[in-house]
A and B are shown apart, each in its own frame.
Chain A
Amino acid sequence: MKKYLFLLGLIAMSFQLNSSAIFIPYSQKIPGTSVSFDMTPIPAGTFWMGSDEGPAPDQKPRHSVRVDAFWMGTHEVTWDAFELFLDKQYEKSVTEGVLESRVDALARPSLPYLDMTFGMGKEGKPAVGMTQYGAIQYCRWLYLKTGIFYRLPTEAEWEYAARAGSADRFFFGSNEDALGDYAWYAVNSRQSTQAVGTKKPNPWGVYDLYGNVSEWVIDYYEADFYARSKAENPVNLARALYPHVLRGGSFASLASELGSPVREKSDPAWKRIDPQIPKSQWWFPEAPFVGMRLVRPLIPPSPEEIEAYYTQVPLVDY
């Protein structure tokens, strides 16, 4: 844990590097496959995090936060990419050449006995139902494949990117009626995930921030965290397996449950119908609305610190 704290300290440090030349949108190809995903640059900046207006006490107080530059996944992670990680046999079968030994040796999820697409489909659709541990291990797999440090966003990074400079409840203002242009949610989703990137993006070019799937962030959930969080690159590190924060709401969310400052939290009940003990570290068989989005910090931490981030093992769950 100490190492991990140190790592996040480093993520938070400001570096005197001139990276502007390369800080542009890019497409990350997963080596050896035809799968790729897009990353959007989010410049460093300061914003008002949280909200004093709504009824939710966990969004208070509204406070000023500075975050460093990072790329954010233009879209939520889809099954097209996640299934390569999920099933090594499948990855091998669709990858040109042999897997590098560091990729081959990585621990993979237990293949889920239940249908983790919940009948909602795969192609172009967000991967769902993974635990936060599973989401982090997906990042690790990507790191081993590409050499680039991908991780989950911090809660502050997520909200900063979602707001895209807006102080309103939504990046497009405060009018719920416009949600249908930007989001798949309870009103238009037919209770299912939808293909990513089929609604309008936010002003910084990021899609599906509201609705479709709730997205994992790094932070441990505490309702009063904002009262004591740091002003620069805040993050609340885990002290227990539950609850962790998710952001953005899902296809199942009502309009009233969506917005840039809205905080959601993980729930052990999402593993209730896992018939096995110990319950899977990898899957939430009752959370078809949970997904993930990647972040790549502009200035990556050292290889040792990256390793420390990826090798935290969650508590056994039963």
Chain B
Amino acid sequence: MKHPHSRRDFMKASALITGGLLAPSYLIPGAYAAPQNHLKLALIGCGGRGTGAVFQAFDTGHPIQLVAMADAFADRLEGSYKPIFDKYGKDKVNVPQERRFVGFDAYKKAIAEADVVILASPPGFRPSHFEEAVRQGKQIFMEKPVATDAAGIRKVLAAAEVAKAKKLNVVVGLQRHYQNNYREAMKRIQDGALGDIVGGQVYWNDGGVWVKPRIPEQTEMEYQMRNWYYFNWLCGDHIVEQHVHNIDVANWAKNGYPVKAEGTGGRAVRTGKEHGEIFDHHILTFTYADGSVIHSECRHFPGAANRVDETFQGTQGKAYLSAGNHGLLTDWKGNVIYDHDRKNQPNPYQQEHDELWAALVKGEYKFADAENAAKSTMTAIMGRYATYSGKVMTWEESLNGQVDLFPETLAWDAMPKVLPQADGYYPYAIPGKTKVI
């Protein structure tokens, strides 16, 4: 192992940084030691979002060295390494070829090299990546959603408990929790500014996202991994991958999780072979323990009206919230209770890293986002179970669902569970017929 400082100095510095809270990576044979004072970072999942998260980590200004990267695909890893290296240079980016790990099990090796990990692979991998990072005692930033089915959620909830016991900081990229308009409005809602929240509406209606074409030489596994948005074992459907943000805000406003979901969904306009098995709309109601009902709507219809925001009604007033820094609370006479100043607001994607890394460099244990993230993801999954099955789904039966979407084997020549039919189209859920749990 080559590094400019003695092992003794490094151990001293490392213990200082971490407050001795985690099993330090210098105990792991072969792990690279970063310069004194530097926290070692590994990126697991080298897409645009993971790369962006590394930028945000560096932009906190704290002493961080990126020491390892992992992705299923070498081209994705290299495409991420280049902008990171170009921007931050060799002192911050120390990822030689031997610490660029490629393949399905790459994450284990990259996690072992670091003090802190960013988990940003497609959501289907999050449970196993999170579980491994917790097992290895790492500090964690992970992206949302945190699973794609109930089996994954149960794994994340169990690991979240271990993370708490080990005092591992876990921040999840449900960045509205790190955005001032939401924080200020929610603080007031929790304090009763609107009375009891008795209803609400949460939306992510827009035109949809990227599609990756099938390349002839790809195996089915590679194609699904590249075009992952359209396959449930990887994505969870857009209600989980995207609308989780708004559903999570509903849970935040209600300070709890719904007891049941019922609704309708389908494929109205996004119906191609390349669109895999996911729906293009889900319209639901979520009922909470006190009987209050939140309407949830997400659709990917190009050409139709867009709406991405959250509204709530309380016994004494109403709220309008959006990622565009809206945070407006009014009483039922129209008097403004609170109106968040939308100008010059911090970037929530930066804020979540600023707060996490400030705690990490001081050795503090402050963040345990995994449990709420798992339960909000579960809420979205319950919504998908309801639209796919056409049935009323309860929280308990959904969380205990036994349908595991994950492939039996992860290998490029192995087969995922959902495969194209003879005509090239993928089978998708039929309400009234499809078994979801």
Contact = CB atoms under 8 A, between A and B. Distances in A.
Interface in B47-101: 47-49, 51-55, 80, 83-84, 86-87
Interface stretch (B3-11, B163-171, B207-215, B385-393): B207-215
A288 B324 CA distance: 10
A278 B323 CA distance: 21
Interface stretch (B30-38, B286-294, B299-307, B368-376): B299-307
Given A90-B303, A119-B324, A277 B348 contact: no
B302 A87 contact: yes
B183 to A, nearest CB: 16
A115 B302 contact: no
A111 B83 contact: no
A67 B347 CA distance: 43
Given A276-B52, A277-B52, A119 B308 contact: yes
A92 to B, nearest CB: 10
Interface string A114-135: 1111110111000000000000
Contacts of B55: 277, 318
A112 B323 CA distance: 15
Contact of A119 (B211, B306, B348, B349): B306
B210 A110 contact: yes
Interface string B251-275: 0000000000000000001101000
B347 A115 contact: no
Contacts of B303: 83, 87, 90, 94
Given A89-B272, A94-B303, A122-B306, A273 B210 contact: no
Nearest to B52: A277
Interface string B304-325: 0111110000000000001110
B364 interface: no
A275 B54 CA distance: 11
A214 B302 CA distance: 25
B323 to A, nearest CB: 7
Contacts of B348: 273
Contact residues of B: prevailing secondary structure: mixed
Nearest to B206: A115
B52 A275 contact: yes
A272 B347 contact: yes
B51 A89 contact: no
A85 to B, nearest CB: 11
B305 A121 contact: yes
B87 A114 contact: no
Contacts of B324: 118-119, 288
Contacts of B80: 277
Contact of B349 (A122, A275, A316): A275
B49 A111 contact: no
Contacts of A123: 305
Contacts of A116: 306
A276 B347 contact: no
A83 B207 CA distance: 9
Interface in A292-318: 316, 318
A269 B134 CA distance: 36
A90 B302 contact: yes
A36 interface: no
Nearest to A87: B302
A276 B48 contact: yes
Interface string A250-293: 00000000000000000000001111111000000000100000
A107 to B, nearest CB: 13
B48 A277 contact: yes
A83 B348 CA distance: 28
B347 A117 contact: no
Interface in B162-217: 175, 204, 206-211
Nearest to A318: B83
Contact of A89 (B52, B270, B309): B270
Nearest to A272: B347
A119 B205 CA distance: 10
27 contacts: A83-B207, A83-B303, A86-B207, A87-B303, A112-B206, A112-B207, A115-B206, A118-B324, A119-B307, A119-B309, A119-B324, A123-B305, A272-B347, A273-B348, A274-B52, A275-B48, A275-B175, A276-B47, A276-B52, A277-B48, A277-B55, A277-B84, A278-B48, A278-B51, A288-B324, A318-B83, A318-B86
